[in-house]
Chain A
Amino acid sequence: MLDATEQFINGLMFGCLYALIGGGFTILFGVMRRFNMAYGSTIMAGAYVALVPVYLFRAPAWLMVLTGIAAAVLVGLLVEFCCFRFIKKGHELAPLMTTIGMLIVINEAIVHATDAVGLKYPSPFGDVALELGQFLVRRDYLAVLVAGVVCFTLIFLLLYRTRFGRAMRAVAERPEAAQILGVSVRRVNVLTFVLTSALAGVIGFFAAVSVGSARPDMAFFVTGKGLVVMVLGGLGSLPGAIVGGLVLGVLEFEATWFLGATYRDILAFVILFLVLVFRPQGLVGTRTT
């Protein structure tokens, strides 16, 4: 069973990526009570633009990440402006439609710019697996794990240790009460977009690194996983997104091992179905943001 254990470890590490994707969806949903369906394409835009410095010169990984973050933040602000800012209060479903439109626009833009051909991604963490005792561990998965831990630590510090974080939590629970305490809801919304989009830049880079390429179907893939993780953990719960992401990662890797790779992508939706039927409040089930 050594290999099943190895798959478990790999699944946990890769699950950090799912947790980050779910976390991005969850933070925005928690603060604004709106779905941003263009989040997957924000991640994809980050992954593609992060390649630009590589084409120009031998860019180091950190420069790629920063470029990806910058691009994703710009795309995120565009999404906020086009799809959220002018929607009146009380039209909760309107952004669902506007962001699906934006998802299509960004995807098409990338397809046209790259002739729909996937772009090979560098492997800045090396291709040789790391030997940890009896286990072989992929270095890029290890990098994903580190990225996950670092990002979530920063997010929780921001939410619970800063002035902006407490304003975010206040707006998430009662926007009208936050407002009467002098918090600008619009400012919190825009900064939430900046935060989640920066996270999208990080996700885009690590997702493309661990897959080995940036492909135009990435947004679709990422959106599917993100929504599954979000519901799996419990809508609006950040700890839930972490648990949901790790669970999905492990289950996918075990399914690949025991059932074969073709079952991997259908598994997410089977789990989603089961959770919705038997535990609709999600695995963690408390509504905290």
Chain B
Amino acid sequence: MTDGAILSIRKLARHFGGLRAVNDVSFDVPRGSIFALIGPNGSGKTTLFNVITGALAPTAGTVVFDGAPISGMPTHEIVRRGIGRTFQNIRLFTRMSVFHNVWVAMRRQPRSGNGARSERERVEELLALTGLSARRDELVENLNFGEQRRLETARALATDPSLLLLDEPAAGMGAVELARLVRDIRRLRELGKTIFLIEHTMHLVMDVADRIAVLNFGEKIAEGTPKEIQADPRVIEAYLGREHANA
């Protein structure tokens, strides 16, 4: 719609039989922003990610990425257009080393001289970026939880996405890892990536996001800056109120 949007969700719906997991949802993710999608458990956030990445076909509506509709395309084609993703439950290749997990995601580059060498270098760069260089030859099972999450991010970055979808990147993280995550997300934005994340950790979202959309029972109930969202009575009722009560 607007020139500034890298991703436009238009009247998107995904139903499972009678269950309306996502219903009539529209919003834009501005290019170069950090955009967060929040909502209670089961509100349709991961379903929305699955529709964006082509794992699920939409029941209705469209997804426009970089000006072109991508709904209905196979996942690998969507990835090649520039969308990367991490999973809520970590899905690394446990039989491969840290290095190979990232290397798998390397696409064939236009041949410009020493192709194979630069591919290795790019893997090393991503491992350095995510602080995993020292662990490059370890098997995945020897990494701690935070390292595994960072490896998933490194792997997603290997597909060279312009839009990176992070599904609950802070889940299970301690304070130190969380601080590192905030730093990493900001650094990725500085590198020109647009970040679109699902997150439950409220202070992380409020801290790092430029814009927030809120889902409840599959429908968008609010959208705005962190300040606006925190003040929105519908959000407080659906989500923040309970979250704060528990905190």
Contact = CB atoms under 8 A, between A and B. Distances in A.
Contacts of B108: 163
Nearest to A173: B93
Interface residues of A, number: 19
Interface stretch (A178-186, A223-231, A267-275): A178-186
B27 interface: no
B236 interface: no
B103 A166 contact: yes
A182 B74 CA distance: 10
Nearest to A160: B100
13 contacts: A170-B93, A173-B93, A176-B91, A177-B87, A177-B91, A177-B93, A179-B76, A179-B79, A180-B79, A180-B84, A180-B85, A181-B79, A182-B105
A181 B74 contact: no
Nearest to A186: B74
Contacts of B159: 181-182
B166 to A, nearest CB: 12
Contacts of B100: 166
A177 B167 CA distance: 13
Q: Give the interface SS of chain B, mostly helix, strand, loop or mixed.
A: loop
Interface in A161-207: 163, 166-167, 169-170, 173-174, 176-186
Contacts of B94: 173
B75 interface: yes
A288 interface: yes
Contacts of A184: 74, 76-77
Contacts of B96: 169
A227 to B, nearest CB: 24
A166 B108 CA distance: 13
Contacts, number: 57
Interface residues of B, number: 27
A166 to B, nearest CB: 5
B165 to A, nearest CB: 9
Given A177-B87, A181-B159, 19 more contacts: A166-B100, A169-B95, A169-B96, A170-B104, A174-B93, A176-B55, A179-B55, A179-B75, A179-B76, A179-B79, A180-B53, A180-B79, A180-B85, A180-B87, A181-B105, A181-B155, A182-B107, A186-B74, A288-B95
Contacts of B80: 182
B85 A166 contact: no
A180 B75 contact: yes
Contacts of B85: 180
Nearest to A166: B104
B151 to A, nearest CB: 12
B198 interface: no
A174 B77 CA distance: 18
A173 B95 CA distance: 8
A185 B85 CA distance: 17
Interface of A: 163, 166-167, 169-170, 173-174, 176-186, 288
A131 B77 CA distance: 58
A274 to B, nearest CB: 29
A172 to B, nearest CB: 9
B215 interface: no
A174 B91 contact: yes
Most buried by A among B53, B77, B93, B96: B93
Contacts of B92: 174, 177
Contacts of A288: 95
B158 interface: yes
Nearest to B152: A177
B156 interface: yes
Interface in B33-81: 53, 55, 74-77, 79-80
Contacts of A185: 76
8 nearest A-B residue pairs (beta carbon): A181-B105, A182-B79, A179-B75, A177-B91, A184-B76, A170-B104, A180-B85, A182-B159
A170 B84 CA distance: 16
Nearest to B84: A180
B78 to A, nearest CB: 9
Most buried by B among A163, A179, A185: A179
Contacts of A169: 93, 95-96, 104
Contacts of B104: 166-167, 169-170, 178, 181, 183
A166 B87 CA distance: 21
A167 B77 CA distance: 15
A169 B93 CA distance: 9
Contacts of A183: 76, 104
Nearest to B74: A184
A167 B87 CA distance: 19
A182 B76 contact: yes
A180 B95 contact: no
Nearest to B85: A180
